[in-house]
C-alpha cells in the first residue's frame, strides 16, 4: 500500500533535485530493496529507527554519558542535535521537501508501522544522529568511538526501512555535522580546571627529590581523558628517591600501606597515583596514620585532584617540593553497623551505584569507555526507583547524592566538589517521576536544564537540594540486592546475605579532616575570569 502524496510535494522533488541525484537515489533504493536480509536484521533496523524518533535514543545516550562524568560532551551533543533537528525539519524540509520512496517498493518485513508523511529532504533522523555524534567527538573523542557506530546505523536504518532516499540521508548527515562543527567554533569549551577554592593553608613536609615519599600507583585506574604524559615517568624523573609501589590485581592500598607502616623505614608522606577510588582508599590510610596526602592525577576523571587545582603530575610534584598544602573537609559513610568508609567527593544510592556495578562487569571485555556507555544505557532502561525514609518521611527516588562541600547548582549528581572547606554536605535528591525525566535531569547542567524546564521536559522542581552536616537514610532494598552505596567512583556492597529489608545509611561530614598537597590559590586576574 503506498502513501498518498500531494501533487505539490511530488513536483517539488522533481523541480528541486537534479535528475542525476534522483537517478542515484533510485538506483540506491533498488539495490537495498532487492538485497535479502534476515528477519532479525530487518526487525533490528526498524526498532533502531523508531528509538530515534523525537531523539529519544540520543537523550538516553546523553544521560548515559552524564552518568560516566561527561556532562560537557552530553550537553554539546544534545545542543547540536537540537539545532540540527530544527534546521532540518523546520527549514530544510520546507525549502526542499519532496516525496518519500513508495511504500509498495519496500519489502514488507522492513516497513515502519507508521510511514512518515512529512517532506523527505533532508532526513531529520540523520541530521540529529550526525549532530549528536559529532558534538560528542568534538568534546570527547574516546566516547565518540561508542556513539558513532550507533549514529551511522540510525542513518542507514532510514534507507533500510524505506523512510528516505540516499540524498535525504546524506543531506541530513552534512547538516548535522556542520551544525556541530559551527557550534564548536562559535562556543568553544571553557577552561577544563578551575583553580582550587578554599582549604585551610598548612605547611606540610617538603620533598624535592622524593625522599620520605611512599606512593601507591594503580595501573588499572583508567585512561586519562585528555591524554597527559605518563605520570609515573614524571615521578621517577623528578622524585628519584620516592618509593613507588604499583598495585597488582590481588592487592589493596590498605594492605600495602599497613605493611609499610609496620616496617623500619616509615614514610613522611603518603602519595597516590590513580583515579578517585584509589585516591579515596589511600586518603583513608593517610588520615588514620596522620600523614599528609600527595595526589598525582592518574585516573579517568580525577575529580578530587581537580578540586585541589592539581591538573597534572608536575602540579602535584611542584606542591610537595615546597610543602604547600591545605586542610580540607572529608566525610564518612556508614551502612548499618559496618565500619565507616572515607568519602572525598560524593556518596550515593540509586542509579549511580547500579551504573558503577554494571560497568565493572562489562569493563574487562569492552574497556572502560564503551562499558560505561553500555552500562549507563542499561541502568537507565532497567532500574527501578529506590524507596527511602528521611526525617520520618518515606518516598521513592531515582537517586540520592551527598557531595562533600558545595557542588555545581541544580544538577542531581554532584560528583565534583567546588569548595574544600565550607563544612556542609551538598545533598541532591532526584524524585521518582518518569524515566525520561530522570534521563533528561541527569544529562544537563544548570543553564540547559532551565531551557528544558521551560519546554516541560523536566519538572520545575525536578531536583530537591539542601545542605546539612549529617544525612541519615533508611533504604528498602529489593530481593537479591545487597545493601550498599557508591562513593568516589567505587561501589561498596555489604551484608549481601542478610534477608531483604531496610538498612540504614549515614553520611557524616568531617570538617578539615585531611591534610593534602595542593596548587596555589588563584590570582585576582583568575578570579575575575571565573566570574
Question: 456 pLDDT exceeds 60?
Answer: no
CATH number for 193-531 (one of 3.40.50.2300, 1.10.8.60, 2.60.200.40, 1.10.3720.10): it is: 2.60.200.40
**Residue 299 scores a pLDDT above 50:** yes
The C-alpha cell at 18 is: 537534479
Question: What pLDDT is recorded for position 499?
Answer: 55
* Greatest extent of the chain over all pairs of C-alpha atoms, in Å: 91
Instruction: Give the residue-averaged pLDDT of 36-49.
Output: 86
Query: Above 60 in pLDDT, residue 190?
Result: no
Please state, in angstroms and rounded to a whole number, the distance separating the CA atoms of residues 275 and 499.
Answer: 34
The DSSP bridge partners found for residue 361 are none
pTM confidence score: 0.64
**pLDDT surpassing 80 at residue 478:** no
pLDDT digits (tens, 9 = 90+) for 323-382: 999 999 999 998 877 889 999 999 988 877 777 777 777 776 766 656 666 666 676 667
Residues 82, 87, 92, 97, CA torsion sign: positive
193-531 matches 7-186 in CATH topology: no
Instruction: Map grid coordinates 592518574 to a residue.
Output: 298
147 versus 451: the higher-pLDDT residue is: 147
Q: How many CA atoms lie within 13 A of 444 on its CB side?
A: 22
Pairing state of beta strands 341-343 and 293-297? unpaired
- DSSP class of 89: I
Contact partners, residue 34, CB within 8 Å, separation at least 6: none
pLDDT of residue 436: 57
**Higher pLDDT among residues 250 and 460, named by residue:** 250
| pLDDT above 70: residue 454 | no
Region 253-267: mean pLDDT is: 92
Is 53 in a helix, a strand, or coil?
helix
Section 15-24 average pLDDT: 75
More confident call, 235 vs 87 = 235
Q: Per the structure block, which three cell numbers stand in for 360? A: 565493572
Residue located via cell numbers 536480509? 37
pLDDT at position 516 over 90: yes
Share of the chain above pLDDT 90, in %: 26
Say if domain 7-186 classifies as CATH 3.30.70.20. Answer: no
Instruction: State the average pLDDT over residues 390-396.
Output: 89
The domains of the chain are located at 7-186, 193-531
Looking at the chain, the whole-number percentage of residues with pLDDT higher than 70 is 77
Give the C-alpha separation, 102 to 292, whole Å: 72
What's residue 444's pLDDT? 45
Amino acid at each position: 500500500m503506498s502513501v498518498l502524496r500531494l501533487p505539490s510535494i511530488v513536483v517539488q522533488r522533481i523541480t528541486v533535485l537534479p535528475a542525476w541525484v534522483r537517478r542515484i537515489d533510485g538506483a540506491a533504493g533498488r539495490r537495498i530493496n532487492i538485497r535479502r536480509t534476515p528477519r532479525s536484521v530487518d526487525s533490528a533496523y526498524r526498532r533502531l529507527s523508531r528509538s530515534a524518533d523525537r531523539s529519544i535514543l540520543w537523550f538516553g545516550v546523553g544521560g548515559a554519558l552524564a552518568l560516566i562524568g561527561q556532562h560537557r560532551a552530553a550537553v554539546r551533543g544534545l545542543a547540536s542535535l537540537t539545532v540540527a533537528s530544527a534546521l532540518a525539519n523546520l527549514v530544510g524540509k520546507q525549502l526542499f521537501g519532496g516525496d518519500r520512496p513508495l511504500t509498495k517498493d519496500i519489502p514488507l518485513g522492513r516497513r515502519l508501522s507508521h510511514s512518515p508523511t512529512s517532506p523527505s529532504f533532508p532526513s531529520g533522523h540523520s541530521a540529529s544522529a550526525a549532530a549528536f555524534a559529532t558534538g560528542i567527538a568534538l568534546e570527547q573523542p574516546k566516547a565518540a568511538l561508542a556513539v558513532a557506530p550507533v549514529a551511522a546505523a540510525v542513518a542507514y536504518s532510514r534507507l533500510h526501512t524505506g523512510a528516505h532516499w540516499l540524498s535525504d540521508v546524506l543531506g541530513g548527515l552534512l547538516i548535522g555535522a556542520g551544525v556541530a562543527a559551527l557550534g564548536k567554533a562559535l562556543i568553544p569549551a571553557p577552561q577544563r580546571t578551575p583553580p582550587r577554592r578554599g582549604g585551610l593553608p598548612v605547611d606540610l613536609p617538603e620533598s624535592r627529590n622524593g625522599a620520605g615519599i611512599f606512593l601507591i600507583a594503580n595501573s588499572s585506574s583508567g585512561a586519562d581523558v585528555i591524554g597527559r604524559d605518563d605520570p609515573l615517568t614524571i615521578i621517577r624523573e623528578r622524585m628519584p628517591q620516592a618509593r613507588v609501589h604499583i598495585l597488582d590485581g590481588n592487592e589493596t592500598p590498605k594492605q600495602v600501606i599497613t605493611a609499610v607502616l609496620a616496617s623500619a623505614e616509615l614514610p613522611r608522606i603518603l602519595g597516590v597515583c590513580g583515579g578517585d577510588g584509589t585516591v579515596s582508599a589511600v586518603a583513608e590510610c593517610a588520615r588514620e596514620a596522620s600523614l599528609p596526602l600527595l595526589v598525582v592525577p592518574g585516573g579517568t576523571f580525577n575529580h578530587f585532584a581537580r578540586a585541589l587545582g592539581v591538573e597534572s603530575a608536575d602540579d602535584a610534584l611542584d606542591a610537595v617540593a615546597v610543602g604547600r598544602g591545605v586542610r580540607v573537609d572529608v566525610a564518612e559513610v556508614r551502612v548499618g553497623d559496618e565500619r565507616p568508609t572515607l568519602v572525598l567527593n560524593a556518596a550515593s544510592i540509586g542509579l549511580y551505584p547500579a551504573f558503577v556495578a554494571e560497568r565493572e562487569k562489562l569493563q574487562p571485555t569492552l574497556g572502560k569507555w564503551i562499558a560505561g556507555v553500555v552500562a549507563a544505557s542499561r541502568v537507565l532502561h532497567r532500574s527501578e526507583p529506590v524507596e527511602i525514609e528521611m526525617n520520618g518521611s518515606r518516598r521513592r527516588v531515582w537517586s540520592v547524592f551527598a557531595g562533600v562541600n558545595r557542588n555545581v547548582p541544580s544538577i542531581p549528581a554532584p560528583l565534583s566538589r567546588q569548595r574544600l572547606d565550607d563544612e556542609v554536605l551538598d545533598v541532591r535528591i532526584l524524585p521518582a517521576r518518569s524515566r525520561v525525566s530522570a534521563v533528561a535531569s541527569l544529562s544537563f547542567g544548570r543553564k540547559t536544564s532551565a531551557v528544558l524546564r521551560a519546554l516541560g521536559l523536566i519538572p520545575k522542581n525536578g531536583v530537591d537540594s539542601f545542605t546539612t552536616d549529617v544525612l541519615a537514610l533508611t533504604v528498602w532494598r529489593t530481593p537479591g540486592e545487597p545493601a550498599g552505596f557508591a562513593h568516589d567512583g567505587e561501589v561498596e556492597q555489604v551484608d549481601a546475605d542478610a534477608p531483604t529489608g531496610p538498612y540504614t545509611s549515614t553520611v557524616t561530614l568531617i570538617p578539615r579532616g585531611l591534610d593534602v598537597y595542593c596548587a596555589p590559590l588563584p590570582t585576582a586576574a583568575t578570579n575575575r575570569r571565573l566570574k
